[in-house]
Amino acid sequence: MFDFQKFIITGIFLAIAFVSAKADDSKEKTFSYIPNIHGTVRPRFELDSKSGDARFAMRNSRLSLDGKVAPEIDYFLQLDLCDQGTFKPLDFYVRLQVATGLRVQAGQFRVPFGVETFRGPHTYLFANRSFIGKQICNYRAVGCKLSYQLPKLPLLLEAGVFNSSAITLHTVWSKKLAYAAKATYTLGEVKFSTGFMTIAPDNVRANFTGASVEWASERWTVEGEYMYEHYTGKMHDPCHGYCVFGSYRMPVKAGIFNYLSFQGRVDGMTDHSNIKRDESGSLVTDNERRNRLTGGVTLTYLKSKNIFVDLRLNYEKYFYSRDAEVARGDGDKLVVEIVLRF
């Protein structure tokens, strides 16, 4: 069935993109009302190596728009026109700089907790997100947060309060809100992060703590993250999640591609409760303990930070307990995808 609302939204984004392309960028300006528009297109092919089943999918067709209405006031809008066949409104917020280093942000966006969860489709190093970023802490919400960058110390502090209901339910009244706080300290090429989050999507409150460390140089990116989730009233055993990965990139000349990179990752999680809801409001039912090894290679055509193409090949090897009931697609598989960023 034709969806007129989605058609209008898509048309607005395309019209803005056309206006932005026609804008005169030759004149130096300290400020402009013309927004920036970016997109990510991510088609893929997957092969289940055990059953032989295969499928094609449009994993993401994402558009984002950002800009300023004043030097101290900016905004960000993002939607996915096709997330495996589903239309998803994602991020819509306004941000005010109220003092030097101090900002207030309100709207719908990622809750300030975790590191892996903040990666977008164009910044993924692997075809599929880690268990931390997908099953344990895939959380957007409607609310408000404060962020403060200390003036003489490379420390960023963030804290916010949010609705506990799904992002599609803005009209729900509740006595239970979600809270989160995060601290990020940067020391040269090394970045440390830690945080806390508490949510109440149903009748049970879930509390999260986590920490990560990342080292990034011109060619190397190495990161490790740990996350712990426990529930009030001992409604479910605590969940532990981890992710450790490394990526090495080097310049090459291979047709249109100018970079070649290699990735390796090990991640896992213990049994996970199904009491929470995902971003669409549906209950999460995936709760099996599992570990996984992922190896990958990526060819990249890189023109700039926001103009590039990745051709990615990943193989994932899963490890479950003997009596686990593994759903189709949640086992060993080969993934080939193209990521276009513009």
Per residue in 133-186, pLDDT (tens digit) is: 999 998 999 999 999 999 999 999 999 999 988 787 788 888 899 999 999 999
Smallest Cα–Cα separation from 197: which of 237, 137, 150, 244?
137
Q: How high is the mean pLDDT of the chain?
A: 88
Is the per-residue pLDDT at 36 higher than 80?
yes
3-state secondary structure of 115: coil
The pLDDT value recorded for residue 73 is: 96
The Cα 100–Cα 85 span in angstroms is 43
Of 30-39, 101-110, 123-132, 224-233, the range with the lowest mean pLDDT is: 30-39
User: Is the sign of the CA dihedral 229, 110, 78, 3 positive or negative?
Assistant: positive
CA distance 162 to 332: 37
- Write down the pLDDT at residue 283: 44
Nearest CA to 266 out of 226, 228, 214 is that of: 226
Give the model's pLDDT for residue 158. 98
Residue 262 tokens read as: 């290699």
State mean pLDDT over 261-276: 85
**Token digits for 245?**
């990965």
pLDDT tens digits, 298-335: 999 999 999 999 999 999 999 998 777 777 778 999 99
Give the pLDDT mean for 207-236. 94
Q: What's the Cα-to-Cα distance from 98 to each of 33, 111, 181, 182, rounded to whole Å?
A: 20, 20, 19, 20
